[in-house]
Amino acid sequence: MNKWVSVVVGALLVLFGAVWTLQGLNVIKGSFMTGQQLWTAIGLLAVIGGITLLVTGLRKKRTG
């Protein structure tokens, strides 16, 4: 995967994962996800995956 694709996808996963986590924790209201533990777990997994992609994308060296 291209370095910048990893960074962009990772950043989006962190952003969406944070929103899903906050909705699952009943901090952000107004959605079917509000107060649902499932969305807290999905959000946390998305954040962890996003951070992983960000770190690996930022650590990749240029080739060529």
Span between the terminal Cα atoms of the chain, in Å: 15
The confidence score (pLDDT) of residue 64 equals 52
pLDDT at 61 > cutoff 90:
no
pTM for the model stands at 0.87
Q: In which residue are the tokens 């960074």 written?
A: 7
For 60, the token pair is 């990749």
- pLDDT value at 62 more than 70: no
- Could you read off the pLDDT of 1-56 as tens digits, one per residue? 688 899 999 999 999 999 999 999 999 999 898 999 999 999 999 999 999 999 99
Q: What is the pLDDT of residue 63?
A: 63
Provide DSSP, 1-64: --HHHHHHHHHHHHHHHHHHHHHHTTSS-SSTTTT-HHHHHHHHHHHHHHHHHHHHHHHPPP--
